[in-house]
Amino acid sequence: MRDSPGGNNWLQRLDTERAREERHLSLHEGHLVTVTPRDRALLDVAGDGLLATGWTGDAASIAARMDAVGAEGISEVVYCPAGPDIERELESFASAARS
């Protein structure tokens, strides 16, 4: 994390918010639902690097990833929709995965 753009500042802020034994509560605050002000600073500096992790992209990109892991023998993918419109996220992912 320290090597990520904005990572040191993010970690320092996290360190000041809670005691060490409770830090995980701040770390996961709003996880998969909203972006906290602390996390917004990371998004602002991440740029295109943000898309390098996870399965992000348009329907064709997701379908290509599904095909690639299927060719490697993967028979299951765990998907966790996020954001304010879960139904739309589920429908979009399912559509991409089927194509």
- Whether residue 39 lies inside any domain: the answer is yes
Q: pTM above 0.75? A: no
- pLDDT, position 47: 78
Q: Please tell me whether residues 26 and 42 are part of one structural domain.
A: yes
Q: Please tell me whether residues 37 and 60 are part of one structural domain.
A: no
- pLDDT, position 87: 95
Counting as low any pLDDT under 70, the low residues of the chain are 1
Q: Please tell me whether residues 31 and 59 are part of one structural domain.
A: no
- Whether residue 2 lies inside any domain: the answer is no
- pLDDT, position 1: 67
- pLDDT, position 43: 83
Domain that holds residue 65: 55-98
- pLDDT, position 99: 75
Q: Please tell me whether residues 44 and 61 are part of one structural domain.
A: no
Q: Please tell me whether residues 38 and 66 are part of one structural domain.
A: no
Q: Please tell me whether residues 45 and 66 are part of one structural domain.
A: no
Q: What is the 3-state secondary structure (H, E, C) of the chain?
A: CCCCCCHHHHHHHHHHHCCHHHHHHHHCCCCCCCCCHHHHHHHHHHHHHHHHCCCCCCHHHHHHHHHHHHHCCCCCCCCCCCCCCHHHHHHHHHHHHHC
